[in-house]
């Protein structure tokens, strides 16, 4: 491993925080930059910018800070190490509010290789500490042989909403110049502090506007939910961007539109993005926008590989342009290291005519044909009801352990006091995520307090059996279930903390946080939300409540038949090719991903034959033939 790699890999967030407990951020920057420049051996006295940056440095502080960060005093540190310290120094609150995350160097380099091919103007609209722009400057130097200073002045542009990030990007570019024996100063930078989504880019950089736009936009756009945005920005984005008209969005979505709008006709956009923009409901406007303009050039999907140490986000490199081709290239890889070998691997050619903005299925022709066959019969959401479970938003208060049961009561201990809970006000609760097999349901000991009346059992047209529920009035609860009322009264303050206590008015105060999942009854098949392969568990009960997953209530198909179909290779293949995946080979079984899976008609003899099969491989072979699929069953 190179010394540079050792420096970067030895970076630790806790060490950076230790420094920041003793020094202001500007002091950390000053001492680290001074140490770097002294090792480079450049005379930076003529740079007003670097003189200002390093003015707070002292020999004693340099030694102390470098020792804390690296566990020793190295002979030198790399520019990447300096950048990594800057990125780790972002306060957690700022990271959450502004969606700041570190991008692996191999990802940056791949994006730049796919986008920068000449004397291009390059912009990162949310530049962070400058990682993309530093590497872009290096690549432009290799291609154009221009000086670093000239490239910084003529080719490199950026913005960030945080003042610290703007300063650190300028520092990073200055250090790159110094490393090459050059000095830059304040008037050499095209880096501005701005909210990119609200910025008037023509006004900020009129020379770029006069040329028709940037040649290249790159970056790792911020991932911020609309709920955390300030009101003015939210209103502006909803008014100005076509990709967020559903009203619920994450900021990376309008950043894609912004990037495409800012490039010239021959330009390219290269981003690392959450891959859920392929499938999420909030991304449908974006998918429609990308399909209509035929803006996608290439997607490298990292699947369930997590690229960011500090974020649980599954990602894909996405390259966009205005070339309006009829298709784009797609490939799924297992790791960042696979980026080195992509030229030797076959990309799938995805035709725009084969994808639907409702949800993208990025498949080759054989896979696409199989999926069409699997969806060609009766959709699952027509032959059954697919429902989510209850959501109290405070399970710790409502759930009771049935092992404490006597003839009439459960007992529960809360804050050192023991309370009696009337059996009549509880029901069985199945926490789907904790159940491994249908046989486990026979021994399920969980009960839940249900402060609701259930009335009028009925059969809904096309949606199975249902009961109507109403909350038990407080005076009635107190009179008929005094033990439960006393317990809930003791836990009243805790119940008030639901939704973070953010002004949500529960009336009455003991009602569930969400009144969902209470009304459906009947035999059902449970599925966890995420599973490594299908796991639909048959529960013969009519009345149990459930949580942490979904239940399928058959309407026009035998439950034994449906159980075999949903647990088959056919469903496994379907989900692996149409759903989203998380780390550990877990696929998503939300209603949105299973509702279009379809169920063929079976004759009486076919039903008998399928029910008679006990070996899973035989069941899979039978169903693959029934669906007419081009699939093999592995041993």
Q: For residue 184, what are the domain limits?
A: 100-362
Write down which residue in 67, 89, 111 finishes a domain.
Answer: 89
Query: Does residue 379 fall inside a structural domain?
Result: no
Euclidean distance between CA atoms 184 and 439, whole angstroms: 71
Same domain, 388 and 355: no
Same domain, 289 and 245: yes
Q: What percent of the chain has pLDDT over 70?
A: 93
Q: Quote the crossing angle between the two packed helices 13-22 and 79-88, to the nearest 10°.
A: 70
Which DSSP state fits 515? -
Please check whether residue 630 lies inside any domain of the structure. no
Average pLDDT, integer, range 146-167: 96
Mean pLDDT value of segment 18-41: 93
Domain shared by 411 and 315, yes or no: no
Same domain assignment for residues 83 and 137 = no
- Confidence band of 98 (pLDDT split at 50, 70, 90): low
The pLDDT confidence band at residue 309, using thresholds 50, 70 and 90, is low
If asked whether residues 40 and 173 sit together in one domain, one would say no
Looking at the 3D structure of the chain, how many domains does it have?
A: 3
> What CATH number should be reported for the domain holding residue 356?
3.40.50.12420
Residue 3, phi-psi category: left (phi > 0), alpha (psi -120 to 50), beta (remainder): alpha
* pTM of the shown model: 0.80
Are residue 126 and residue 38 in the same domain, yes or no? no
Is the pLDDT at 476 greater than 60? The verdict is yes
Range 15-23 average pLDDT: 92
Question: Has residue 207 got a pLDDT over 80?
Answer: yes
Q: CA-CA distance, 38 to 35, in Å (whole number)? A: 5
Phi, psi of 129 (to 5 degrees): -85, 5
**Residue 79 in domain:** yes
Please tell me whether residues 130 and 160 are part of one structural domain.
yes
| Structural contact between residues 521 and 428, judged by C-beta atoms closer than 8 angstroms | no
- Tell whether 6 is covered by a domain: yes
Instruction: Using DSSP, state whether 73 is helix, strand or coil.
Output: coil
pLDDT exceeds 60 at position 10: no
Instruction: Return mean pLDDT, the chain.
Output: 90
Q: Is residue 320 part of a domain?
A: yes
Q: What is the pLDDT of residues 590-624, one digit of tens each?
A: 999 999 999 999 999 999 999 999 999 999 999 99
- Whether 238 and 318 share a structural domain: yes
Assess whether 126 and 268 both reside in one domain.
Answer: yes
Residue 421 within a domain = yes
112-121, 342-351, 449-458: least confidently modelled range: 449-458
Average pLDDT over residues 45-64: 94
Q: Residue 299 pLDDT > 70, yes or no?
A: yes
The per-residue pLDDT for 95 is 60
pLDDT > 50? residue 2: no
> Mean pLDDT throughout 466-477?
91
| Among 40, 57, 89, residue at a domain's last position | 89
Model confidence at 193: pLDDT above 90: yes
Cα separation, 585 vs 576, whole angstroms: 9
Q: Are residues 532 and 506 in the same domain?
A: yes
What's the mean pLDDT in 135-139? 98
Q: Are residues 119 and 211 in the same domain?
A: yes
> Residue 5: is its pLDDT beyond 50?
no
For residue 304, what pLDDT band results from cuts at 50, 70 and 90?
confident
Q: Is 213 helix (H, G, I), strand (E, B) or coil?
A: coil
Which tens digit of pLDDT belongs to each residue from 230-267? 888 888 999 999 999 887 788 999 999 999 999 999 99
For residues 488 and 550, state if they share a domain. Answer: yes
């Amino acid at each position: 491993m190179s010394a540079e790699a050792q420096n970067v890999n030895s970076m630790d967030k806790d060490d950076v925080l230790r420094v920041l407990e003793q020094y202001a951020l500007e002091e950390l920057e000053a001492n680290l930059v001074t140490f770097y420049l002294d090792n480079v051996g450049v005379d930076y006295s003529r740079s007003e910018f670097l003189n200002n940056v390093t003015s707070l440095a002292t020999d004693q502080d340099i030694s102390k800070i470098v020792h804390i960060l690296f566990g020793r005093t190295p002979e030198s540190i790399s520019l990447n190490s300096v950048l990594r310290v800057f990125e780790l120094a972002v306060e957690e609150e700022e990271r959450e509010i502004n969606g700041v995350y570190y991008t692996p160097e191999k990802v940056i380099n791949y994006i730049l290789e796919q986008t920068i091919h000449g004397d291009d103007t390059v912009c990162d609209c949310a530049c962070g500490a400058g990682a993309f722009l530093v590497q872009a400057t290096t690549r432009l130097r290799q291609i154009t042989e221009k000086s670093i200073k000239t490239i910084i002045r003529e080719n490199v542009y950026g913005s960030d909403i945080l003042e610290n990030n703007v300063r650190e990007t300028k520092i990073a570019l200055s250090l790159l110049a110094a490393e090459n024996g050059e000095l830059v100063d304040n008037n050499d930078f095209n880096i501005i502090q701005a909210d990119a989504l609200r910025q008037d880019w023509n006004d900020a950089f009129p020379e770029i506007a006069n040329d028709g736009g940037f040649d290249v936009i790159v970056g790792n756009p911020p991932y911020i939910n609309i709920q955390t945005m300030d009101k003015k920005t939210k209103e502006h984005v909803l008014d100005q961007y076509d990709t967020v008209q559903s009203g619920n969005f994450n900021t990376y979505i309008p950043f894609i539109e912004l990037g495409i709008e800012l490039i010239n006709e021959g330009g390219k956009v290269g981003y690392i993005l959450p891959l859920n923009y392929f499938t999420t409901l909030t991304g449908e406007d974006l998918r429609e926008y990308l399909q209509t303009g035929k803006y996608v050039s290439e997607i490298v999907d990292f699947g369930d590989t997590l690229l960011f140490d500090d974020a649980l986000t599954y990602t894909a490199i996405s390259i966009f342009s205005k070339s309006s081709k009829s298709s784009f290239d797609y490939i799924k890889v297992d790791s960042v290291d696979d980026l080195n070998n992509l030229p030797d691997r076959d990309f799938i050619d995805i035709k725009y005519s084969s994808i639907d903005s409702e949800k993208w299925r990025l498949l080759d022709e054989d896979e696409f044909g199989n999926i069409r066959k699997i969806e060609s019969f009766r959709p699952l959401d027509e032959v059954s009801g697919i429902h989510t479970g209850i959501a109290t938003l405070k399970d710790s208060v409502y759930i009771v352990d049935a092992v404490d049961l006597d003839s009439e009561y459960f007992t529960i201990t809360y804050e050192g006091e023991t309370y009696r809970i009337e059996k009549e006000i509880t029901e069985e609760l199945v926490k789907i995520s904790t159940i491994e097999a249908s046989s486990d349901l026979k021994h399920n000991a969980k009960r839940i307090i249900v402060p609701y009346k259930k009335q009028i059992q009925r059969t809904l047209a096309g949606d199975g059996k249902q009961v109507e529920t109403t909350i038990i009035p407080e005076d009635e609860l107190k009179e008929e279930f005094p033990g439960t009322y006393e317990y809930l009264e003791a836990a009243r303050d805790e119940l008030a903390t639901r939704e973070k206590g953010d002004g949500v008015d529960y009336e009455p105060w003991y009602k569930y946080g969400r009144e969902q999942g209470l009304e459906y009854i009947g035999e059902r098949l449970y599925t966890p939300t995420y599973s490594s392969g299908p796991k639909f568990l048959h529960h013969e009960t009519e009345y149990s409540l459930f949580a942490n997953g979904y239940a399928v209530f058959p309407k026009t198909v035998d439950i034994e038949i449906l159980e075999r179909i949903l647990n088959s290779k056919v469903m496994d293949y379907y989900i692996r090719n149409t759903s989203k995946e998380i780390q550990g080979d877990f696929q998503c079984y939300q209603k949105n991903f299973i509702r279009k899976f379809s169920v063929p008609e079976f004759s009486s003899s076919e039903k008998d034959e399928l029910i008679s099969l006990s070996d899973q491989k035989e069941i899979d072979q039978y169903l693959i033939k029934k669906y007419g699929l081009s699939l093999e069953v592995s041993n």
